[in-house]
Structure 1
Amino acid sequence: MSGWLGSAVKAQWGWIGDYSGSRFSSDLVAAIVVTILLVPQSLAYALLAGLPPKVGIYASITPLLAYAVLGSSRQLTVGPTAVISLMTAATIYELPEELRVVGAAAIALMVGVMLIGAGLLKAGFLMNFVSRPVVSAYITGAALLIVISQLRHIVGVDGGGRTAFSMIRNLSDQIGQTSLITVGVGSLALLSFYLARNSFAYRLVRLGVSSNMAKLASRMAPIFIIGLFITVSWAIGLDQKGLAIVGAVPSGLPPFRIPMIETSLIQSLTVPAAVIAIVAFVDSTSTAQELAARQRDSINANRELLGLGAANIAAGLSGGYAVNGSMSRSAVNAAAGAETPLSGIIVAALMALTAMFLTPLLKSLPLSVLAALIIIACLSLLDFKAIWRTWVYSRIDGVTAVATFLSVLMLGVQYGVLVGVVLAMALHIRTTVNPHMPLVGRFPGTEHYRDAQRFVVETNDQVKTMRIDESLYYANARTLEDRVATIVSENPELTDLIFMCTAVNRIDASALSSLETINNRLKSANIALHFSDMQSRVRERLFRSSFLDRLTGQIFLSQHEAMEALRPAPDWSFLDDHIDMH
């Protein structure tokens, strides 16, 4: 495993050989733009996680360095994100207040160890078990839950809660305690961030600014808006008039130490940490795959496990909390021209400088402004259209997506993805347990065979063909037996039954036993069992058994060959009375 780990590091740093000055300038510009976004976001997401602002800054330094060493994406930027922050908040909510910071660091360390272990075991294939409808619905539900959770900072009440309904109930109970100055500042911040995101670039282009400069200015606008609110808050002394502010943020680099908590707390945090690890991996890998596809590149899921695991271990050891790949910052990083992981390393250096020298400037930052920043960022993650499209296309996937979305709101963000994954797998198993097995017939004058209930096709009373639209395994073996029994009972003239196996990719031992039972039952009823369109790999596996020695029929290369061989000869007896006039 150590050799494979070394090859992962070598693969990640292969870009150094052809690095150039132009690449460095691209990485530097991208890093500056990302840092401008990351400074306020790190504070905001720490607030969302229920942690001091400095923890968000700490989580934005060493994790970037660790991911750059082992991760496979050249443009993914890791750090605090909205979804993981909300999951962290839900996890440490039950801890005593004095243990929440060290508890969050311990969770990050546990998440990192789990991901590293999965990476060493090459468990990246687990990504395949999380469907895209589940991911899309989960992100939408989590984004909506985050928006609801931040409304309390906009209106200036304590609020709180773990589910959407508890948050809304607490808000409604405390609505009489609303702070007008907080509402005013929060509403103005919401409007400012919204306009900066949606119309600022367009207006700059209308004024003659180039498109690239307009986009860059639009992305940098939030830092200027935050600077303006900090200046006004400090100049007027809004904190003395009832406006909640960030307060003093300690300067300096993050301390390196192992988070020490009681064994009983570690046990209680294990399951939530595992859920966070799953969500972090799914979310990060999805983002990395999207970025790689745009560059006609690819990522390695196992190396993503290593990189993300190393980032979380670094976060846990440096006083941060759990991190993952940020969809918004990664997209900005790519759009700003980042070409290599060096951009992430530069971001880490700039964040370190911020931690050492710039934190005193953040003291007067209103919490309602940070909440507004989170809300606007999460609004872009809401994708109800994707859930609707999934529902229209596939009811099974639609049910999974809706259940995932509602589970996030009703049970909490940490359970939503589990409900989605379990339900998706359960519905998939249910589908394969009852596979579609129609009788088929031939389109007249062709060699094409289709479902006899859907199309007007030729059929034969003595020879019937049942198409099996699923691999055969232990869960659907009895269903196959029942289906054959029904066909036999409904067709008293049947002499030959053909299994058309176009979609059968596998026949396990339980299904083989059912085929032997079916063969014996048909033999006792003087009906021969045949196979057509069987894949060579499946046929070769059958040859390992003695089933083919006892098979009453044949294996045909194609369905048409089977019908041509088994179709009864025409009955010409009605011509016996024909008189030859010649």
Structure 2
Amino acid sequence: MASDAEPTAVKKSSALHRQYDWLRGYGPAVFSEDLVAAIIVTILLVPQALAYALLAGLPPKAGIYASIFPLAIYALFGSSRQLSVGPTAVVSLMTAAAIATIPEGQRLVSAAALALMTGGFMLIFGLLKSGFIMNFVSRPVVSAYITGAAVLIIISQLRHIFGVSSDGQTALSLMQTLLSNVGDAKSVTMLIGGGSILTLWAVKKYLAYGLYKIFHLKPTTARIITRIAPIFVVGLCIALSAGLDLSGRFGLRVVGDIPAGLPNFAIPALSLVAYEALLIPALVIAVVAFVDSMTIAQTLGARSRTRVDADKELLGLGASNVMAGLTAGYPVNGSLSRSAVNFSAGAQTPIASILAAAFMALTALLLTPYLTALPLATLAALIIVACFSMMEFKNLWRTWVYSRTDGLTAVATFLAVLLVGVQWGVLVGVVLAMALHIRATLKPHMARVGRFPGTEHYRDAERFNVETDPAVITLRIDESLYYANARYLEDKVARLVVEFPEVTDLILMCPAVNKIDASALSSLHEINKRLMSANVRLHISELHSHVRERLHRSDFIDQLTGQIFLSQHEAMETLRSEPDWSQFSDHIDMH
């Protein structure tokens, strides 16, 4: 009996280790490092959870709820060891945009439904092995989107700094209502908000350097202290607000009562029509949250030399969002700042995230009464200072200088976020990037090439001083051939034949042709026929083996008037015209 049970136990153990490879060698030493990292991340997460709930237009408790069970669930199903999942600035802003038109009493349950649907989309993508979808969102689009979202977030939070009301989903509408109400700004609120911004900015910019230079702390320790320093700013503002009764005496807006306790598990009670209205926002949030989280996870994975699985990330993020929806939270994704702190603090395994979730649960149970007097202006300052590091204008400028096409896509994405809305910015960027890519392939670069004298290297005849033969023309094709650019190739060949009437052989040089579809094959047939009627033979050189194998499935090679050469040099050596040897004759006329 024991011998039968032992293989079963071994199989279960090996399956467990395949799923959670970080369990190998896990012991007290690793646990202590995870524990320290969890404590530090929790210190950072508490004010961020409150601040991002404010940004999403939700009660503070939604931010705390979204930081408990979703964080633990991702640790169980995700593939990154250091990614810290929870409320983030961009997804919070997208949530605010999605529920902006919903009556205030229904926003909390609508946000939970949005998280449930976002997680559902991610789970479907994960089960379909669709991790490749992040390849369709280019880095310039992501950079521009995050930069535009950061600017929009800052504008949206200015109302809390001035203590006035401001409505709208675009930069123009927000600024318009803000400026119309700025006359009602409260001086105490501005003092708290402005002072918090300056203090947080100074801490972020100079504290680590000061700790390193003056107190000779290790760089890693100095950075960790700098990361958690905002909790002391928050504590100071709470003390000032409560001790001086700034809310009662000067109208300072504060967080107010936060219900103590853990959330109940329940499916968001909304009508089918309400769920349908959230369908598109949920899909957009799912794509943005996955791309953003995957970028962070890959960066940390490279630094820790661990592998990140895109499909497993979809399942982990999907499960965490479903849990957020079932526990009165709102959509979540990976946080760059908290993940960086988690990594710097020495987190070795996802146990650090599970411990952080436990600490957030204790916060919900025990510490919420101490957060009542927290000024909203301080939370807005936390958000604004966090957005300073999200703006990547230098990257946008580098993109514009390097590639006007990518630069145009980035600028359009940035402006779309500001002028149309955050939920449409990434969609505009993706669609425009794909449209410009298709446009570029409609007329691919095709160059007539010649040989560098005395070598086997062939380059563009219009850009280099190379040898050419008017009877043997070579056209290099720098793109795969498919239905959209096939007729362009026909026109290009026709122009060459007219331009060089002496041509007897035309070589299509195909080092960059990775595919020839059925439409392009028909065009090659037509080119072969037209050249044959003009007494010009068609040849092909440097064709990839897999493309050549596919051509063998058709009768094109049998009908080809010329040959298929392994290299361009072989083609030219075979087809080049014999020189007129009479001009080199050494015969001497004696008459």
TM-score (norm 2): 0.96
Alpha-carbon distance, 1:210 to partner: 1.3
Unaligned 5+ residue runs, structure 2?
1-12
Whether 1:37 and 2:44 are equivalent positions in the alignment is yes
> How far, CA to CA, are the matches of 1:556 and 1:581 in structure 2?
48
Q: Deviations over 1:416-461 (max 9, x none)?
A: 1001111111111111111000100011111110000100111111
Instruction: Tell me the equivalent position of 1:3.
Output: none
**Contact 2:450/2:467 (8 A) holds in 1:** yes
Q: Deviations over 1:246-305 (max 9, x none)?
A: 000000001110001111111111001100001000100011011111112220000000
Q: How do 1:157-556 and structure 2 match up within 5 A?
A: 157-211=164-218, 212-240=220-248, 241-556=250-565
Distance 1:269 1:7, change over 3 A: farther
> How far, CA to CA, are the matches of 2:510 and 2:567 in structure 1?
10
Alpha-carbon distance, 1:342 to partner: 0.3
> How far, CA to CA, are the matches of 2:579 and 2:425 in structure 1?
62
> How far, CA to CA, are the matches of 1:202 and 1:533 in structure 2?
57
Q: 1:92 aligns with which of 91, 99, 104?
A: 99
Distance 1:485 1:247, change over 3 A: same
What one-letter code is carried by the residue in structure 2 that aligns with 1:53? P
Distance 1:576 1:330, change over 3 A: closer
Q: Deviations over 1:41-65 (max 9, x none)?
A: 0000000000000000000001011
**Contact 1:152/1:160 (8 A) holds in 2:** no
Alpha-carbon distance, 1:202 to partner: 2.0
What one-letter code is carried by the residue in structure 2 that aligns with 1:56? G
What one-letter code is carried by the residue in structure 2 that aligns with 1:85? S
Distance 1:393 1:505, change over 3 A: same
Query: Comparing 534-543 with 80-89, which one deviates more in the overlay?
Result: 534-543
Instruction: Tell me the equivalent position of 1:49.
Output: 56
> How far, CA to CA, are the matches of 1:216 and 1:267 in structure 2?
44
Q: 2:88 aligns with which of 59, 81, 88?
A: 81
**Contact 1:71/1:307 (8 A) holds in 2:** yes
> How far, CA to CA, are the matches of 2:163 and 2:130 in structure 1?
45
Unaligned 5+ residue runs, structure 1?
1-5
Query: Comparing 82-91 with 160-169, which one deviates more in the overlay?
Result: 160-169
What one-letter code is carried by the residue in structure 1 that aligns with 2:240? V
**Contact 2:17/2:23 (8 A) holds in 1:** no
> How far, CA to CA, are the matches of 2:124 and 2:92 in structure 1?
23
What one-letter code is carried by the residue in structure 2 that aligns with 1:15? W
Q: Deviations over 1:162-219 (max 9, x none)?
A: 0111111111111111111110110111111111111122222333241244333222
Whether 1:113 and 2:120 are equivalent positions in the alignment is yes
Secondary structure at the residue paired with 2:508? strand
Whether 1:140 and 2:147 are equivalent positions in the alignment is yes
> How far, CA to CA, are the matches of 1:446 and 1:32 in structure 2?
66
Distance 1:575 1:187, change over 3 A: closer
Distance 1:7 1:44, change over 3 A: farther
> How far, CA to CA, are the matches of 1:513 and 1:186 in structure 2?
68
> How far, CA to CA, are the matches of 1:128 and 1:544 in structure 2?
31
Distance 1:577 1:233, change over 3 A: closer
User: Sequence identity, in percent?
Assistant: 62
Instruction: Tell me the equivalent position of 2:26.
Output: 19
Alpha-carbon distance, 1:503 to partner: 0.6
> How far, CA to CA, are the matches of 1:7 and 1:403 in structure 2?
50
**Contact 1:40/1:370 (8 A) holds in 2:** yes
> How far, CA to CA, are the matches of 2:20 and 2:71 in structure 1?
15
Q: CA RMSD in A?
A: 1.5
> How far, CA to CA, are the matches of 1:308 and 1:366 in structure 2?
32
How many pairs were matched up?
A: 577
Secondary structure at the residue paired with 1:176? helix
What one-letter code is carried by the residue in structure 1 that aligns with 2:141? V
**Contact 1:9/1:69 (8 A) holds in 2:** no
